[in-house]
Amino acid sequence: MLGLTCGELDFGSEPANTCAAGTCCTGIDACFADPICAGLEYCINGVCQGAQNLDDCITQNCPDCQGGGTLHNAWVECMNGCVG
């Protein structure tokens, strides 16, 4: 995930991709340029995918990435606005 850019990602639908490109890329690019934020995204969607308690999983398996939450949450909130 580290070093990926917004244009390289697929958000699952053309409307979501268009919205991301139009409004969320700055935050997405900032997250994936930051090792801690990119690591948190990998942890959430890789290591902890399907975990019953995401926070506990992150704490147990990816403690070094917990500090990436601010950058991560900013682009996730933006994307939530894209997909409603």
- pLDDT per residue as tens digits for the range 2-36: 999 998 989 888 998 998 898 999 999 999 999 99
How many folded domains does the chain comprise? Answer: 1
- Measuring CA to CA, how many Å separate 33 from each of 50, 78, 81, 83? 26, 17, 22, 24
Does any domain span residue 59? yes
- Measured between alpha carbons, how far is 74 from 55 in angstroms, rounded to an integer? 17
User: What are the counts of helices (DSSP H) followed by strands (DSSP E) for the chain?
Assistant: 5, 0
Residue 43's pLDDT is what? 95
Provide the domain limits for residue 45. 35-84
Residue 1's pLDDT is what? 80
DSSP letter (8 states) at residue 84: -
**Coil vs helix vs strand at 65:** helix
pLDDT, tens digit (0-9, with 9 covering 90-100), for 25-71:
999 999 999 999 999 999 999 999 999 999 999 999 999 998 888 99
Per-residue confidence band for 84, with pLDDT thresholds at 50, 70 and 90: low
Sign of CA dihedral 77, 78, 83, 84: positive
Does any domain span residue 63? yes
